[in-house]
Amino acid sequence: MAKIVDSSMDGELTIKVKAALTVDEDTFDTCVNIMMIYAREHGIKGMTLDFRKTAPSRLGRFLMSDEAVEDILGAKTKYNK
């Protein structure tokens, strides 16, 4: 928030600016490809991602073994009962 105050002005003016980021499909695909390259170079077998706004610091978790990937794929959730 910026406040502009001038000695010749009565009161103050407050300006609020908000911005949003929109990512198109090509940009998303590029990001996924970069993540795949990184994973292959570091021996990562898979990863889980959490896109909720409430968990930005825990965006993802690396799965370092085939067993870990199988455990995640076999986990029962409300979406794959």
H or E element: which one contains 69?
helix 66-74
Range with the poorest average pLDDT among 2-6, 27-31, 68-72: 2-6
Long-range CB contacts (< 8 A, 24+ apart) of 65-71? Answer: 69/45
Lookup: tokens for 18: 């908000």
Is residue 46 a contact partner of residue 72, using CB atoms and an 8 Å limit? Answer: yes
* Lookup: tokens for 45: 């077998």
pTM for the structure as a whole: 0.53
Q: Is a pLDDT exceeding 80 seen at residue 12? A: no
